[in-house]
Amino acid sequence: MLVHRIATGLALLFGALAMLLIDEIWLAPWYPLWFICCVTFAGLAAREMVGLLQATTAQPSAIAVYGGTLAIVVANWVPHIEYALRSEVPASITQLVRTSGPVEALGWPFLVYIGVVMVAFVVQAIHYERPGRVVPVLAGTCLVLTYVALLASFLIQLRWIDGRFHGLFALLTFIACAKGADTGAYTVGRIAGRNKLWPKISPNKTVEGALGGLLFAVAFALLFKQIAVLCNEVTLGWWQTILYGLIIGLIAQLGDLMESMIKRDCERKDASQALPGFGGILDVLDSLLFAAPVGVGFWLLLSP
């Protein structure tokens, strides 16, 4: 189990680094490899979520979920492509925020999300036959679109944070903190875990593991801060970096617990067996999805 987890984790890590670097060096600011990655992982996560909810009263529409997830992910690229076509300066979410008020870039996926939900309502009305079916379908559909596609939009937008390398360091720092918290909680929990953290939700997680996760998150935040300094990249201050690591480490672990709650309610141990040692795609993305809105907000408020 541990060997599989390490091997899968390293493969994902180096694959992600290679993809982001190729995008940054040759394909900025369009980031087509990042687009393919986001579409693939969001689609697979949505598929796993639909499968999980089949065990509950919520019965999402698979067509609405898959089509809506694709549309919402695509919408994340629209303002940046339009901005890049109008200007030689690469599109930046913070520039859009500062010139257009509310987070314009994120307004696109939110608008598409609302449109997909409205269409789902109309489709259910057209096919209405008997009481008791429409509400579970709409509830499940909205839950999957919100939890997977909408939360993923915040993760996607980190790629365009201001800086010499656009959002590369913002994205890498966020992923390192969130997954570092997962790794630290798992490692320290296995070595020194004694006191259960939230046994009703996840019986294997411990208080000691959670504290280890916070330490790992801060350590990774400081590591990427130092790398950013060496690369003359715009980044957070030192105290802000420590605070960032603590907050993202905390919210990431909470996100892991929230997905555990969903799986427990669906009487499943893992979302799937797609990734040896981890479980499913959703089991890898859970901490990232839940913490991404906090990560974007932190960068927008406190970055130079």
Q: Do residues 253 and 285 touch, judged by C-beta distance below 8 A?
A: no
Residue whose token pair is 């999805």: 289
Backbone torsions φ then ψ of 203, nearest 5 degrees: -65, -15
| Interatomic CA distance for residues 208 and 261, integer angstroms | 20
What is the arithmetic mean of pLDDT over 45-72?
95
In which band, very low, low, confident or very high, does the pLDDT at 99 lie, cut at 50, 70 and 90? very low
The dihedral over CA atoms of 58, 63, 64, 70, expressed in degrees to the nearest 10, equals 130
In this predicted structure, the answer to whether residue 96 has a pLDDT above a threshold of 60 is no
Q: What's the pLDDT score for residue 68?
A: 98
In this predicted structure, the answer to whether residue 149 has a pLDDT above a threshold of 80 is yes
Mean pLDDT estimate for the chain: 87
Candidate from 6-20, 22-36, 212-226, 264-278 with smallest mean pLDDT: 6-20
Between 275 and 53, the higher pLDDT residue: 53
Q: What's the pLDDT score for residue 17?
A: 83
Q: Do residues 96 and 64 touch, judged by C-beta distance below 8 A?
A: no
What is the arithmetic mean of pLDDT over 62-87?
88
What is the arithmetic mean of pLDDT over 196-221?
94
**How many domains are there within the chain?**
1
Q: What's the pLDDT score for residue 303?
A: 63
Q: What's the pLDDT score for residue 164?
A: 59
Segments forming the whole domain that contains residue 166? 2-302
Between 156 and 8, the higher pLDDT residue: 156
Q: What's the pLDDT score for residue 97?
A: 41
Rg over CA atoms, the chain? 20
